[in-house]
Amino acid sequence: MATAKRDTRTRILVASLSLFNEQGEPGTTTNEIANEADISPGNLHYHFKKKSHLVEALLPEFQADVRRVLEPPRGDDVALDDFWAFLHSLLEVLAAYRFLFRDIETLVSEYPQVRHALRGFSKALTAMMQLYIEALRNSGYLNMDDREVPITCRNMVVISLFSERYDEINEAALAADVSAFRIAQSILGMLLPYSSREAEQLFAELAEHYRH
């Protein structure tokens, strides 16, 4: 019986995340979630009394996935491929919890836990970007002045977290993979002017890989 309850709870959370990402949290009803999970509204209410409880239950999952991504680069010899792998993992997490950033104003005003989680995430991501930039400088991939490092890191975080909002203002909502491609290309394109002569072609090839 306990296993069945866990399985139902998991199905509800998976359905909630899918619909939140597709429609936004404010635009998703509990009846839609129950239908997506193939259970009755009463069964959904048994596990989660309110829609807010679903958001709160998804936050620890988000934070656990974030911790796996935000692991500092190992050693002094960091290659551009290491940064590319980190960026790829970051974009996967952002796509998996897309709803947190597309409805950010609503969520942070209604859920203190969301505000706390996103504040911690953005600070940790900024620190991680700085670690990678410093490592790429030390490895000879980037020629960047000390004063430019924190500004560049901040801009990369802003692009990572809010680029999709910018695109939604200027055009129709994009598919998650298209949005991820644009974010990656923008970040790599931002670093291209700072690339060393030896690394310039590598940066250009990576940026081209994400051209959509």
CATH number, position 20: 1.10.10.60
Residue 9 has pLDDT above 80, yes or no: yes
* Mean pLDDT value across the chain: 88
Question: How do residues 113-163 score in pLDDT, each as one tens digit?
Answer: 999 999 999 999 999 999 999 999 998 999 999 999 999 999 999 999 988
Range of the domain at 19: 1-49
Domain co-membership, 6 together with 76 = no
Orientation of helix 112-138 relative to helix 148-170, angle to 10°: 130
Give the model's confidence band at 53: pLDDT under 50 very low, under 70 low, under 90 confident, else very high: very high
Residue 2 has pLDDT above 50, yes or no: no
Domain co-membership, 158 together with 74 = yes
Domain co-membership, 18 together with 41 = yes
Domain co-membership, 96 together with 61 = yes
Longest CA span, the chain: 63
Residue 55 has pLDDT above 90, yes or no: yes
Domain co-membership, 96 together with 158 = yes
> What pLDDT was estimated at residue 127?
95
Count of structural domains, the chain = 2
Domain co-membership, 86 together with 129 = yes
Residue 210 has pLDDT above 50, yes or no: yes
Domain co-membership, 21 together with 79 = no
Domain co-membership, 103 together with 12 = no
Residue 191 has pLDDT above 50, yes or no: yes
Domain co-membership, 25 together with 68 = no
> What pLDDT was estimated at residue 129?
95
Helix extents (H) in 97-171: 99-102, 104-110, 112-138, 148-170
Domain co-membership, 110 together with 197 = yes
Distance, in Å, from the CA atom of 22 to the CA atom of 97, rounded to the nearest integer, reads 10
Domain co-membership, 11 together with 61 = no
- Distance spanning both ends of the chain, measured CA to CA: 48
Distance, in Å, from the CA atom of 120 to the CA atom of 206, rounded to the nearest integer, reads 29
Q: What is the CATH number of the domain that holds 139?
A: 1.10.357.10
Domain co-membership, 31 together with 61 = no
> What pLDDT was estimated at residue 212?
56
Give the model's confidence band at 1: pLDDT under 50 very low, under 70 low, under 90 confident, else very high: very low
Q: Is 67 exposed, middle or buried (0-12, 13-18, 19+ CB in 10 A)?
A: exposed
